[in-house]
Amino acid sequence: MRLGIRIFLVYFLFVGLAGYFLLATVREQIRPVVRQSSEETLVDTANLLAEIVHDDVKAGTLGQSRLPQVLQAYGRRRPGADIWGLAKNQVSHRIYVTDAHGIVLLDSSGQALGQDYSRWNDVYLTLRGQYGARSTRSDPNDESTSVMHVAAPILDEGQIIGVVTVAKPNSSLQPYIDHSERRLLTLGLGLIVLGLLVGAGLSWWLTRALRRLTRYAQAVSEGERAALPYYKGGELLQLASAVERMRTQLEGKAYVERYVHTLTHELKSPLAAIRGASELLQAPMAEEQRARFAGNIERESQRLQQMIERLLDLARVEQMQALEDEQPVPLAQLIDELLHAQVVRIEAAGVQVRVRVAESVRLLGDAFLLRQALANLLDNALDFTPHGGELVFALEPAGKQVALSLFNQGEPIPEYALERVSERFYSLPRPGTGRKSTGLGLNFVAEVMQLHGGHLAVDNVPGGVCVRLWLPLRRIG
């Protein structure tokens, strides 16, 4: 999938999800906001009516007053109002008045006259000096039949002598809620479409700029003369400058020099093994041992031949974006071969070696690079392991990663050096001789781990030092 399409899809997903959650959140707020506004109006209306009916309730003449006829006339009115494009053709308030005991004295609907409403929350709470309100469904199974009731006390010298309740069906508010939601949805979808158009334009502009840089890099790799694309500033200018610096370094062959140093370091280990085996062959020994050491020489000679043949490949390690020769590598077999190559040194030092890696374990990667990396680790571990010490190879799973670890018994690494042991040319004195190595071994291992999607970790542990090659779990099978 092209980069531009991927960028657009990510942008589309982000804008779409953000728009959806924003619209959903706002829509959820419309209904309660409209009802809160309506409730606030009902509070004012109830308190106004409480003052209007005060005298009649106190005198007990509410039923003989004009108020019942007024409320009946009010119920028959047809406002014919146009509210934000919505027609309102009938009134929807229901008004009832109760005495201090909750008995209905007046009901604009004529339904509850004389009934006891003292247990309804609007009346019950108001008679106790609290804010009285309730929302009750006419049909318990239908939310749309919910009716909002708001009450106000009728006060006489601080005493509550009655309650006025104003009720309004929530269904009368639904058209305004639906109208607001439709407008919000239209505007929201318009903004999302506009955002996607902007994202498409941004994706096209970015991929066009990257394609220019890609064509330049391809031309340079083919030895053609090409002009560096011009960018006004920002990350694209930094990227173009970095590509130009890389071109300059490649033309100067600086990278070849670095890997010549690395390979020179790598040649030391097989040469040492060949030399040790050849020295032992000069002494009298059993035929079986002689064949064993002769085999070591042959294997290490083949290893040297392989190093020479891979010189140009190693020169490109730092620039590789991915491994080119991935294959399942049997870890236990690889470790065993490395130990056989160092058997003379191991036996001379009396080092005890344990391998806790199952024979069936395979590591997906470049066999040559992995061999060289593990050979470096083993060589370092033997340098710092005291006579009669212990080496342990093991696999340590941890979530989505797994570590191939090598523990060597010995003195801990000084704290000041822990963060630098994998730096190029940084080395610590070897115990016994006091000499330092070239400082390229662990740096090479770190680069190999990066190519395999992992990393190198060196830590002090109780009794010695543990080096771990952390790799994605998908590479272990």
- In terms of C-beta distances under 8 Å and separation of at least 24 residues, what long-range contacts does 212-220 make, across chains too? 213/239, 213/240, 213/243, 216/240, 216/243, 217/243, 220/247
Strand order in the sheet with 133-137: 104-107, 94-99, 159-169, 146-156, 133-137
Specify whether the CB–CB gap between 136 and 17 falls below 8 A: no
The C-alpha atoms of residue 25 and residue 44 are separated, in whole angstroms, by 29
* Highest mean pLDDT out of 11-25, 170-184, 327-341: 327-341
As beta bridge partners, residue 393 has 355, 406
Q: If we measure between CA atoms, which residue out of 18, 12, 1 comes closest to residue 202?
A: 12
What pLDDT sits at residue 285? 80
What's the mean pLDDT in 248-254?
A: 56
- Tokens standing for 467? 């080096």
Q: What is the pLDDT of residue 313?
A: 45
Tell me how far apart the alpha carbons of residues 361 and 395 are, in angstroms, rounded to a whole number: 10
CATH of 254-475 given 3.30.565.10, 3.40.50.10790, 3.40.50.880, 3.30.70.1450: 3.30.565.10
Distance CA 135, CA 461 (A): 68
The per-residue pLDDT for 163 is 94
pLDDT band at 265; cut points 50, 70, 90: low
Spacing of C-alpha 433 from chain mean position: 50
User: What's the rounded Cα separation, in Å, for the pair 122 and 162?
Assistant: 12
With 90 as the cut, is the pLDDT of residue 250 above it?
A: no
pLDDT score of 110: 81
> Checking DSSP bridges between strand 352-356 and strand 390-398, what pairing results, if any?
parallel
Which amino acid does the sequence have at 49?
Answer: L
Q: Are 414 and 427 in contact (CB under 8 A)?
A: no
Q: Which residues pair with 134 in a beta bridge?
A: 149
Residue 473 vs residue 273, higher pLDDT = 473
User: In this model, does residue 314 exceed pLDDT 50?
Assistant: no
Average pLDDT over residues 152-168: 92
**Cβ(173)–Cβ(142) under 8 Å?**
no
pLDDT of 120 reads: 92
Separation CA 326–CA 340 (nearest Å): 25
* Equal CATH topology for 3-178 and 254-475: no
Cα(329)–Cα(361) distance, integer angstroms: 8
Sign (positive or negative) of CA dihedral 37, 40, 45, 48: negative
210 pLDDT exceeds 60?
yes
Contacts of 144 (CB under 8 A, 6+ apart): 170, 171, 174
- The pLDDT of residue 126 is 93
Give the pLDDT of residue 261.
63
Whats the size of the chain, residue-wise? 477
pLDDT of residue 1: 57
User: What is the distance, to the nearest Å, from the Cα of residue 246 to the centroid of all Cα atoms in its chain?
Assistant: 32
Q: Report in angstroms the alpha-carbon separations of 414 from 68, 330, 429, 437.
A: 97, 34, 12, 17
CA distance 170 to 162: 26
Whether 241 shows a pLDDT value over 50: the answer reads yes
CB atoms within 10 A of CB 313: 15
Q: Which CATH superfamily is domain 3-178 in?
A: PAS domain (3.30.450.20)
Question: What is the Cα–Cα distance from 17 to 209, expressed in whole angstroms?
Answer: 28
CA 282 to chain centre: 63
Least confident of 278-282, 331-335, 429-433: 429-433
Q: What is the pLDDT of residues 350-374, one digit of tens each?
A: 999 999 999 999 999 988 889 988 9
Pairing status of strand 362-365 against strand 327-330: antiparallel
- Dihedral (C-alpha) 272, 273, 277, 278: value to the nearest 10 degrees? -40
Mean pLDDT of the chain: 80
Mean pLDDT value of segment 57-76: 83
Q: Residue 177 phi/psi, 5° resolution?
A: -65, -45
DSSP-assigned states of every residue in 120-178: SHHHHHHHTTS--EEEEESSTT-GGGEEEEEEEEEEETTEEEEEEEEEEEGGGTHHHHH
Which residues face 468 on adjacent strands? 405, 457
Q: Residue 222: pLDDT above 80?
A: no
Residue that wins the pLDDT comparison between 465 and 429: 465
Domain ranges of the chain: 3-178, 254-475
